[in-house]
Amino acid sequence: MNIRFYNARILTMEEGAGVTEGELWVKGNRIAPAGPPDGTVWDREIDARGNLLLPGFKNAHTHSGMTFLRSYADDQPLHDWLQECFPMEAKLRPGDVYDLTRLAIMEYLTSGITANFDMYMFPDEIAKAAADCGFRTVLCGCVNNFTYDLPFMEKCWDEYNRYDELVSFILGFHAEYTCSRELLEGMAALAHKYEAPVFTHNSETRLEVDGCLERWGMTPTAFLDSLGMFDYGGGGYHGVYLNDADLEIFRRRGLWMVTNPGSNVKLASGIAPLQKMLDAGVSLALGTDGPASNNCLDFFREMFLATGLQKLQEDDASAMPADRVLEMATVGGARAMGLSDCDTLAPGNCADLVMLDLHQPNMQPLNNIAKNVVYSGSKQNVKLTMVNGRILYEDGQFHIGADPEEIYRRCNEIIDAKR
Amino acid sequence: MNIRFYNARILTMEEGAGVTEGELWVKGNRIAPAGPPDGTVWDREIDARGNLLLPGFKNAHTHSGMTFLRSYADDQPLHDWLQECFPMEAKLRPGDVYDLTRLAIMEYLTSGITANFDMYMFPDEIAKAAADCGFRTVLCGCVNNFTYDLPFMEKCWDEYNRYDELVSFILGFHAEYTCSRELLEGMAALAHKYEAPVFTHNSETRLEVDGCLERWGMTPTAFLDSLGMFDYGGGGYHGVYLNDADLEIFRRRGLWMVTNPGSNVKLASGIAPLQKMLDAGVSLALGTDGPASNNCLDFFREMFLATGLQKLQEDDASAMPADRVLEMATVGGARAMGLSDCDTLAPGNCADLVMLDLHQPNMQPLNNIAKNVVYSGSKQNVKLTMVNGRILYEDGQFHIGADPEEIYRRCNEIIDAKR
């Protein structure tokens, strides 16, 4: 498909570029240089009516398959919450995660998210859900003492890095506190074998950091780094309790800190010191975490929280300006996930983009469009979400090869069967 | 107009009532008891398709006319922000606030808000905007040393309490720190004369409280109460820095604390201790504050922040459960604003309601509908907003007797003329 957007406002997110007005051309699955008519036969020509095109948001940490636990065990202390969630996950049957992931993908599309970094069980079902919907997913390994093992990790590496152009796999494990030293050393060996980055939950709670200090005399970041885990990069999810020395390791190794403010708020985990990380030169990306803890998969909420909580924490309304948040949510996420050709709307990049409706009261007046997106934006503004050149969501309609009502029915059935 | 909703899920917000399934009848501007067919001629019969009807949200503190400053001066410390906003407000011309308020009303409708408590200049234009759009507004006096005076306040009381069934007026002043003692004593005398409640900004920042302590040796709450200001009730906006003695005054006088978490976050003001207030028996309502500081007028964001920030502050994920937030956002707000017949969907009450689309991925599965609304809800879920029996917003279309594009054009023109 060749699609021409005209009368558009465009924020390519290329460094230094502001909002421009004009055309954006999509040829096949790629952004093409726009110019005077060149004889291209357009499958669709879309009058953007002055609406904003920008790169799709990248949800750089989530557990999509947990949709069945949305609003299942809220308003409970973390420990009670875990006690309710874990046994439910143990009841997942083959096929469940496929449908639960499709539900999450639908929600991503309503929020302008075009790719996710998904750490969950049943990678075969996640990969199939993404490929079937036309959604881009990066699977993250989630090995731990109880689930999966290193041979399985290598199998995933081989299988999902050649599964579909929309699917890839990155090495990962659940967390320091759920893995034996032997398992972690094995993971580090894999990182060396494949010369590949490794991602994991890192310093989400104070308890986790204290436990690691007690076990190994080091913070999770320092301990994992001492095993050679990050010799080829990677990163951490949450990072609420990273200290200055941890940040220096992140900076030196070029690790990504993926912040999850909605989940950290709702589970009362704390506020990750993003402004301090920015100042320390640490690379940032943004994620929703899973729908059991967040509970929604809404990048507009996440973006507001990413800046708002910093302003509170720093006692400074100028902390974490909106343009840095927008960068994390698009460019940062793409690069963290190894999707370096999905980061901006530069010609040649994948056509993963969103059109935001500026003809809505929350986007008016047009004093500063980028700030409007971060501070006032809402799912309601998402007119169109395109992944790899295909429009998967437009004006409230899903084009994912499945009936939404059937997916809702299946997801209710899945949770009802487990009560 | 008589409108019958069928196949609905209904959350009336009456005490102890959960979500029920059935019909909701609107006759004229009121909720009518639903039952077997009674010969009523329906102007519309709406198949709710299992979607949720609940009372409209009540935005219990805002400055609607500030829409022109949305995204105008963000990411700046409070002091610099004020320095940029005040001179712009001084440039407002007759007619401006009418259009700026209509823009805000549109945004309220997209968020399921059916009434607002509006403290801003040019009350004649606010009242006309609300009446023309069919929106319910409660004007709050905003007298201070620089703007308006007590005779004007009395004129407003007389005029706007008999202006239109959708408009009312409640006594109010800007804040302790912008009013002389003489002016405050005059306000308290008006409260006594009309036996009426008084609202004001109260303890929004630490600086404000410290200033009052220095001036009067008392907190703003204690000082104002000592003048007899709250002998007939009323309340305060923000309340970030209320101490235990202040809370006791709030409880004893039956004062409303209207929290504004979005604004308090964005301006780095702090977190109001809502859970403590609940525990102390203080009545709570919710507001967005104005669009210059928030910047959006989105009750879904406000509701998430109202609970999320408490969980963080209390270091307890069970703090401020979702059902209490929903109560603040609907019942609490209505009662704070003197709209006691707009609080629930009980028969006889005004038909001020919202229909939320549950056929959306963020509302599935249906583990707990009320929690879904608070934790996962979005403007995208607002299918229909009805005020006083009239549908003002449905499926993305506004029915407010004006062209949205014309309002956008005017609002851009207003800010452009002031740069």
Residue A190 has pLDDT above 90, yes or no: yes
Query: Is the pLDDT assigned to residue A78 strictly greater than 80?
Result: no
Q: What is the pLDDT of residues B10-33, one digit of tens each?
A: 999 999 999 999 999 999 999 999
Contact state of A74 with B315 under an 8 Å Cβ cutoff: no
**Alpha-carbon span A412 to B16, nearest angstrom:** 25
In A173-280, which residue ranges form alpha helices assigned H by DSSP?
181-194, 206-216, 220-226, 244-253, 261-266, 274-279
Residue A267: predicted pLDDT: 92
Peptide bond into B365 cis (omega under 30): yes
3-state secondary structure of B131: helix
| Nearest chain B CA: its distance from A395 CA (Å) | 10
Residues of chain A neighbouring B384 (CB-CB closer than 8 A):
none
pLDDT at B146: 93
Residues in chain A, overall count? 419
The answer to whether B113 touches B105, Cβ cutoff 8 Å, is no
Minimal Cβ distance to B315: which of A268, A360, A380? A268
Of B107, B371, B415, the CB nearest to A362: B107
What is A57-341's CATH topology? TIM Barrel (3.20.20)
CATH 2.30.40.10 fits A2-55+345-398, yes or no: yes
E strand or H helix at B359, and its extent? none
- In this prediction, residue B397 carries a pLDDT of 98
Contacts of B361 in chain A (CB under 8 A): 103-104, 106-107, 110, 404, 407-408
Which residues, other chains included, contact A382 with Cβ-Cβ below 8 Å and sequence gap of 6+?
A109, A110, A111, A112, A354, A355, A356, A357, A393, B380
Residue B140 CB neighbour total at 10 angstroms: 28
Q: What is the average per-residue pLDDT within A8-35?
A: 97
Average pLDDT taken over every residue of chain A: 96
Out of A365, A412, A415, name the one closest to residue B411 (CB): A365
In chain A, which residues have their Cβ closer than 8 Å to the Cβ of B298?
A: 362, 376, 378
Q: What per-residue confidence (pLDDT) applies to A86?
A: 86
**Cα B228 vs. chain centroid, distance in angstroms?**
25
Q: Please check whether the two domains, B2-55+342-398 and B57-341, share a CATH topology.
A: no
Task: Parse chain B into domains and list their residue ranges.
Answer: 2-55+342-398, 57-341
The letter for the amino acid at B185 is: E
* Closest CA of chain B from A141, distance in Å: 26
Which residue among B71, B361, B376 places its CB closest to the CB of A106?
Answer: B361
pLDDT band (50, 70, 90) for residue A223: very high
Distance from CA of A204 to the nearest CA of B (A): 14
Q: State the DSSP code for B255.
A: P
What pLDDT does B37 receive?
A: 94
Residue A395: what pLDDT? 98
Residue stretches of chain B with pLDDT short of 70: 78
User: CATH number of the domain at B2-55+342-398, out of 3.40.50.720, 2.30.40.10, 3.10.20.600, 3.40.50.300?
Assistant: 2.30.40.10
Residues A113-172: tens digit of each pLDDT: 999 999 999 999 999 999 999 999 999 999 999 999 999 999 999 999 999 999 999 999
**Is the CB of B308 less than 8 angstroms away from the CB of A103?**
no
The pLDDT score that the predictor gives to residue B83 is: 83
Distance of CA B78 to the CA centre of its chain: 23
pLDDT at residue number A288: 98
Q: Which helix (H) or strand (E) holds A10?
A: strand A2-10
The answer to whether the beta carbons of residues B173 and B200 sit under 8 Å apart is yes
Rounded to the nearest 10°, the torsion over CA A341, A346, A348, A350 is: 50
Could you tell me the pLDDT band of residue A83, with boundaries at 50, 70 and 90?
confident
What is the pLDDT, as a whole number, of residue A80?
A: 80
What pLDDT, on a 0 to 100 scale, did the predictor assign at position A23?
98
Q: How many CB atoms lie within 10 A of CB B278?
A: 18
Q: ipTM surpassing 0.85, yes or no?
A: yes
**What local confidence, expressed as pLDDT, does residue A254 receive?**
98
pLDDT given at position B119: 98
Task: With CA atoms as reference, report the closest residue to B340 among B356, B326, B352.
Answer: B352
- The reply to whether residue B371 touches residue A71, judged by beta carbons under 8 angstroms, is yes
Q: What's chain B's length in residues?
A: 419
Q: How many angstroms away from the CA of A323 is the closest CA of chain B?
A: 10
Q: Dump the DSSP string for B222-243.
A: HHHHHTTTTTT-EEEEE-TT--
Contact of A55 with A17, CB cutoff 8 Å = no
Q: For residue B364, list chain A residues with Cβ-Cβ distance below 8 A.
A: 67, 70, 103, 407-408, 411-412
β A113-118/A57-62 pair status: parallel
Which positions in chain A touch B76 (Cβ < 8 Å)? 317-318
pLDDT reported for residue B84:
84
Which of B49, B240, B294, B295 should we substitute to test contact with A (largest number of A Cβ atoms within 10 Å)? B295
Ramachandran class of A112: left when φ > 0, alpha when ψ lies in -120 to 50, beta otherwise: left
B71, B308, B371 ranked by CB distance to A372: nearest = B71
Residue B419: its pLDDT value, please? Answer: 84
C-beta of residue A247 within 8 angstroms of C-beta of residue A278: no
A89: left (phi over 0), alpha (psi -120 to 50) or beta: alpha
Residue A278 has pLDDT above 80, yes or no: yes
DSSP conformation letters of A68-129: GGTTTS-SS-HHHHHHHHHHHHHT--TTHHHHHHHHHHHHHHHTTEEEEEE--S-HHHHHHH
